[in-house]
Amino acid sequence: MFELFSPQKTEAAGQGRGPNRWDWALLPLVLALLIVFAFGAMQMSHPFSVGETSYISLDPIYLPYYLLRTILRMFTALGFSLLFSLAFAAIAVKYAKAEKIMVPMLDILQSVPILGFQAIAIAPFIALFPGNLLGVECAAIFAIFTSQAWNMAFSLYQSIRTVPAELSEATRIFRLSSWQRFWRLELPFAMPGLLWNMMMSMSGGWFFLVAAEAISVAGQDIKLPGIGSYIAVAIEAKNGAAIAWAIGAMLTGILLYDQLFFRPLLAWADKFRFEESQSETAQESWLLQWMRSSHWFRGFTDKLWVWLSRPLHWFSVRYDGTSTKASVRQINPVWSRVWDVVLTLACLWAAYRMITFIHSDVGWGEAGHVVGLGLITLLRVMLLIALASVVWVPIAVWIGLRPQYSQQVQAVAQFLAAFPVNLMFPLVVFVVVTLNLSPNIWLSPLMVFGTQWYILFNVVAGASTIPSELRLASDNLGLKGWLKWKRVYLPAIFPSYITGAITASGGSWNASIVAEYVTWGKTTLIADGLGSYIKQMTEAGDFHRIALGIGVMCIFVMLLNRFFWRKLYLLAEDRSR
């Protein structure tokens, strides 16, 4: 049931070798997609020199081209994010020593603002491809990658850690190697949650698209053709009509890749649900039905599955004549102690470097001021995550238990999660200025506007994988109301909720850069906080204070994850088993 690489069974009756009507229906669609994406890829390598002015037209006729360039960047970043997630989860789960470094490192990476990554990466990428636009394109793709990868890596890591014990025991009985266990059990088990988080990551890429495509670092203003740059120019020009056109283009793009990519994948991944009986209402996709009815496609996938299944035999475990229990290698505890000492020394060295940096470059007064701003942002993040949890957890469970409704709200949820907060600036500025409201309070909801969906998507994924047998058993036992939530729903979705809350918390810290510093035309609203500090220092090109702000943000996020979210994470792991 949990074998990822298995060829589809071919229908013997009525299936010939020649093309049928479904083949002719799919052929123009496949060719059109190949031509369009090839054209978009060719546009990424035009000549370019630093300081060159890039022109972005607000004429709606250019929006299809801008949409193509943006979607191409986002799917390229999504591919790299998926590779990163697979490698991270496989290594972190298998090697405890590596896990001690990798999980805190992921906490740090998700807390580093996209502007911080961009300020560091833009120069090396441009130097890597001198005189070519491909360097800036790579910098934009890298920035989008940093808004997608951490969520997917956390999701896959959490899912693998919560594989049921009986399935893990079965892999040991059948003597599967770690390589085979990952591809035959762990990845298939995590597939439904991973796909929902891939959708959330795509939406997260939209949320930070303006910062990724309209690059402004240390006086350099580079705008790549795309929806993000279009929105940035529309905001600068205070062009409400152009913003409306951009929203329409975004909605069109989300609907397209929802129908052509995510909906078929979700319907395909329904077979990996962990239950013995068939789900009452499975995900459906018109494109997947076409593909399954196509002779050419089925023949291609049969050959593809055979080719992909070959690596499963690369690292097989041979029977050594001993029992499974006896063949387990015992790790020398001395090496674990040595590793802990190395990590402790590395932390002490990092602390020494940080103290030296503060003392010589920015001063202790400035550092204390930034820590105070971090406490303000921390208060905002925790309050907003709590409010978002109260609102979205019940709704997400209701949606996840009813796949027929989850298909209907799927594209809508993706659109809301993808909606860049920059597009709300006109309304926010108008309301705050007109009513003379405090930016410290009324800019705060912008922080969670794009990140609350991490909770929604993860809880929907968790609720959708609750076995039908468990729900039927609770109905037979007469569980209702709060008792049913306490005994069935909350324990089942708790690991998924923690994953969503961790990524939502990290995303909110990132979003504070956009939410605490709002600009519409010549009007600027600034709220006290760490995000607005980093934004102002980035525009000023003060790299010492940018580093200070990012460092303080990393420390806050690491401490929050280590002493709050991590405790809940271990509790979720223990309860789920």
Distance CA 159, CA 151 (A): 12
User: What distance, in Å, lies between the first and last C-alpha atoms of the chain?
Assistant: 20
> Each residue of 42-69: pLDDT tens digit?
888 777 776 666 788 888 999 999 999 9
Residue pair 493/455 in contact by the 8 Å Cβ criterion: no
Quickly state the pLDDT bin for 235 (edges 50, 70, 90). Answer: confident
Quickly state the pLDDT bin for 330 (edges 50, 70, 90). Answer: low
The mean pLDDT value for 9-32 works out to: 65
Distance CA 560, CA 555 (A): 8
b/e 522-539 (16+ beta carbons within 10 angstroms → b) = eeebbbebbbbbbbbbbe
Token pair 């990132």: residue? 510
Domain parsing of the chain, residue ranges: 21-316+363-576
Residue pair 268/288 in contact by the 8 Å Cβ criterion: yes
Q: How many CB atoms lie within 10 A of CB 483?
A: 12
pLDDT of 216? 64
What is 21-316+363-576's CATH number? 1.10.3720.10
Pairing of strands 220-223, 517-520: unpaired
Between 208 and 185, name the one with better pLDDT. Answer: 185
Q: What is the mean pLDDT of the chain?
A: 79
> Each residue of 440-497: pLDDT tens digit?
888 888 888 777 888 888 888 788 778 777 888 887 888 888 888 888 888 888 888 8
pLDDT of 166? 82
Tokens of 1: 């049931």
Stretch among 73-77, 78-82, 410-414 having the lowest mean pLDDT: 410-414
Quickly state the pLDDT bin for 563 (edges 50, 70, 90). Answer: confident
pLDDT of 390? 92
Q: Could you tell me what percent of the chain has a pLDDT over 70?
A: 82
Between 428 and 14, name the one with better pLDDT. Answer: 428
CA-CA distances (angstroms) from residue 508 to 4, 50, 150, 153, 384? 34, 32, 13, 18, 9
Distance CA 435, CA 437 (A): 6
Residues ≥6 apart with Cβ < 8 Å to 286: 259
DSSP character string of 115-134: HHHHHHHHHHHHHHSTTBTH
